[in-house]
Copies of this chain bind each other. A is one copy, B any other.
Amino acid sequence: MHEKHHVVVVGGGFGGLQLVNDLKGATVRVTLIDRRNHHLFQPLLYQVATTVLATSEIAWPIRHLYRDRPEVTTVLGEVTAVDTAIKTVSLANGQSASYDTLVLATGATHAYFGHDEWAAVAPGLKTLEDATTIRRRVLLAFEQAEVEDDSARRDALLTFTVIGAGPTGVELAGTIAEMAHKTLPGEFRRIDTRRARVVLVEAGPRILPAFSEDLSAYARKALEKLGVEVHTGTPVTDCTDAGVKIGDRFVPSRTLVWAAGVQASPAAKWLGIEADRAGRALVAEDLTAPGHPDVFVIGDTASVKQEDGKPVPGIAPAAKQQGAFVARVIRARLEGKSVPDVFRYRHQGSLATIGKRAAIIDFGRIKLKGALAWWIWGIAHIYFLIGTRSRFAVAWSWLWTYLSGQHSARLITQKETLRETG
């Protein structure tokens, strides 16, 4: 029996899932490999880190999504190598999978610009564990401040620093400030949580550089209105468990969150192809790996240029468009039709939220800010949440938070022990 063309997809993020979705009905077998059992809706991960949403509201088991697609096999496993000569990927458990077409959609993690020692004191935000780690540290800082007798140490505990002012950094800083000013007051007896400092540090000249200057300026004002101190134009030069050095100035701060650099997955290394400084594979215009027409690299782990020479941004819509493009290429090749040979990115707009009833949207010609933008942001995110239940669950959690001002997932979990306040 002639086996159907076998597409192996590594990574169940936005790009990988879009690809598998769009291969529905094609004459292929699909194997989808991910080292996690769940797809993660990363744009809302900051809300888990800041106690608004529960972990299960933004993550769904991948295999459940394809229960009605018998030609799709989901494998929980970690890819360790690719052998393009024999067209095989190797897994950490010693098994391997042969492919006819391979799609690497393995994403990126945070990068510390050569300072990996900062990772322990300034966790980034890429996984559910990262989110619960940050949640635990933020909540513990308030708890420890409540029992701290020394005023300098108390101030350091009540200073929260977010490094990097892209959308994630802005959203984290805004939500931590809202917690301190609106959710927590009245619950502590010795500290006034409204006196907490939230510091947002950006090495570049302005926050949210992907947005126009006036939207960026509006966002800065909205953050400052929430009580966030915004520092731009000066890089962080050190991170310790006592605080952060911004340029030459040391700011005592016990809770640091890293929302700066990005490091791609080792997809380029597996293939032995060139990568950019962030490790992203330099792919051809049709998203194939140079010299490997049967291997595609998409999403955050690929370096792709737009027509104007600017890089395609590392955001969910870009990954989805790439997944859809590769599905069209695979279908065209199998059906002997004319194969699209250049991926074109269509930027649909940029969205970022700053706090309750403040957001910015940049659709190019149309720019929105304030309450209307905030409602559009919320509706768009609920719309894009996979799975009917999560849509309702998140809508309900947000409605609850909106009306009551309360957050529903204020849990300190996992076994990191109370850090001594000495």
Contact = CB atoms under 8 A, between A and B. Distances in A.
Interface of A: 36-38, 54-57, 59-61, 63-64, 66-68, 70, 73-78, 92-93, 95, 128-129, 132, 139-140, 143-144, 146-147, 186-190, 389-390, 392-393, 396-397, 400, 404, 406, 408-415, 418, 420-421
A420 B75 contact: no
Nearest to A392: B396
Given A54-B54, A396-B396, A411-B56, A189 B73 contact: yes
12 contacts: A37-B139, A38-B412, A54-B54, A54-B57, A59-B411, A63-B188, A70-B189, A76-B143, A93-B418, A129-B414, A389-B404, A393-B393
Given A37-B412, A76-B146, A389-B408, 8 more contacts: A37-B139, A61-B410, A61-B411, A64-B187, A66-B187, A74-B187, A93-B420, A389-B404
Contact of A187 (B55, B67, B406): B67
Contacts of A140: 76
Contacts of A64: 187, 406, 410
A380 to B, nearest CB: 23
A190 B420 CA distance: 50
Contacts of A55: 54-55, 409, 411, 413
Contacts of A390: 408
Which 9 pairs between the two chains have the least Cβ-Cβ distance?
A56-B409, A76-B143, A54-B54, A54-B56, A61-B410, A37-B412, A63-B187, A67-B187, A73-B189
